Amino acid sequence: MENCSIIIPIYKRIDVLSLTLHALSLQNNKDFKVILVDQGNSIGIEKIHEIVGDRLEYEYVNLPIDVTVAEKRNKAIELTSSKHLIFIDSDIVVSKDFVNEHISTLEHGGDSVVGYIYGKSTIDDKPYPPLPDLFESDRFSELIYEIGNGGHFYDEREEAFQSCNYNIMNLKAPWSLYWSGNISIRKEVLEETGGFDTGFCGWGGEDIELGYRLIKGGFNISLNKKAYGIHLHDHSRVTDRKNQYARNLRYFVGKYPRLEIELYSVFPVHWHLFVDYYKNITPSNYASFEYEIRNTIKSLFHSNINILGYDELLVKLLIQITSIMDPRRLDYCETNIKKYELSGLCTFFAENFFDATIITPLWVEYHHNHIHLLFEEMLRISKYIHIIVPWWVDQNKKITLLSALGKLGNKSVSNFKVDSYDKCKIVTVKK
């Protein structure tokens, strides 16, 4: 039985995969097996054997063309009996002590390890050696070392790593740095936690979600900067991946409808700066609006209403409310209506799921750069949004409101309507 299996999902890009496998063949520690999981026979066993020969122990697995990355990794996990599992992407070219460093960390108290990825997203814009020259050079390992340690291609997570003095368990959410381009885990830990969630389709998110489960399950994640690789980025697929990732983040929020997950999905770098901000919002009282709001909303005959910003009077007055979103904890709310601890900036609901969303004056307390995001998301999931604008809103917030409404005008909005009352205005936006 091998001590370690290195699992690599592959799809085309044979030139880059050749470099990845060449680097693995130069490892100081040879006690490992490579499991290559293809889809739709995009490369094929003959090509793999041609580039690997007998330099590596490997297993080639071919799955249907429509499988997800999570399914590919899970299949490899099922096939191996190794006690240590390393996951890398097919475009990661690793250092010659890569395997040793991962195993050493796992055998000295690490449940799972995050390795360093130099040039995670921008290396193709840097003057590293052309691929054929790098592959044919008799200084291959030395060049990898020089590229990785030259100080030019830092991992894009470097700022976060530095902020915790390279101990990511000191962060509020170490799971947010758990990127499967270069990670390892003890198999017994993975079996207890569960494999990759196959609900993530396309690119991105399944690794972060696994990291989240690891942390919630009481396991640790260690960083080993010496277990590094160089990323040979594929710029041609950036747009597709962004769209796929956006869908997967909504799935992530739906699986764990919590403020931290939602904010991470909107602001993947600086999300943690806003968690306490939104949890501690204390909006002003607007009880005097109750009858005006009730009559206005009821006159529109909505039957499935979402409310953004819990208000006891509204919940009592409007029996059509089926959902409440609020970034503050709502444990004290005595209602059977479904409650979500969300700010409303990124939700998991389908388009037009609600007949309408009422946005209470809670929006006034939102960060000024986020208000247009709130309106856009609420309009995405609702046919109408009704924004309550209290009389005490200051001039700066009114300007922010107008700016946010102006941005909505470019998103297939059919009309705006403003109803004025003694104590408030209600701005209605319809698709």
Average pLDDT over residues 47-68: 91
Please give the span between the terminal C-alpha atoms of the chain, in angstroms, as a whole number: 61
220 φ/ψ angles, rounded to the nearest 5 degrees: -105, 155
pLDDT per residue as tens digits for the range 294-345 = 666 666 667 899 999 988 878 887 888 999 999 987 776 777 899 999 999 9
Two tokens, residue 128: 């590293």
Contact between 123 and 156 (Cβ < 8 Å): no
What letter represents residue 334's amino acid? E
pLDDT per residue as tens digits for the range 144-174 = 666 656 555 678 888 888 889 999 999 888 9
Contact between 254 and 338 (Cβ < 8 Å): no
Strands (DSSP E) along 196-346, which ranges?
A: 221-231, 305-308, 321-325, 338-340
Q: Which residue has the higher pLDDT, 246 or 206?
A: 206
Domains of the chain by range and CATH? 4-256 (3.90.550.10), 279-430 (3.40.50.150)
pLDDT confidence bin for 398, thresholds 50/70/90 = confident
| Residue for token pair 């699992």 | 7
CA 107 vs. chain centroid, Å, equals 29
Q: Distance (Å, rounded) from C-alpha 268 to C-alpha 293?
A: 36
pLDDT per residue as tens digits for the range 108-131 = 989 999 999 887 653 344 444 444
What letter represents residue 234's amino acid? D
Two tokens, residue 376: 């856009």
- The yes-or-no verdict on residue 138 having pLDDT over 60 is no
272 φ/ψ angles, rounded to the nearest 5 degrees: -65, -20
Contact between 3 and 31 (Cβ < 8 Å): yes
How many C-beta atoms surround the C-beta of residue 130 within 10 A?
Answer: 9
> What is the sign of the dihedral through the CA atoms of 17, 22, 23 and 25?
positive
218: left (phi over 0), alpha (psi -120 to 50) or beta: left
Contact between 70 and 197 (Cβ < 8 Å): yes
Q: Distance (Å, rounded) from C-alpha 403 to C-alpha 255?
A: 33
Q: Distance (Å, rounded) from C-alpha 304 to C-alpha 391?
A: 28
Q: What is the DSSP string of 149-211?
A: HSSSS--TTHHHHHHTTT-GGGSS-GGGG--TTEEEEEHHHHHHH----TT--SSSSHHHHHH
**Whats the size of the chain, residue-wise?**
431
What are residue 359's DSSP bridge partners? 308, 387
Contact between 112 and 189 (Cβ < 8 Å): yes
Model pLDDT, residue 132: 44
- The yes-or-no verdict on residue 284 having pLDDT over 60 is no
pLDDT per residue as tens digits for the range 341-387 = 999 999 999 999 999 999 988 999 899 899 999 999 999 999 999 99
Q: Distance (Å, rounded) from C-alpha 26 to C-alpha 320?
A: 66
Q: Distance (Å, rounded) from C-alpha 365 to C-alpha 343?
A: 11
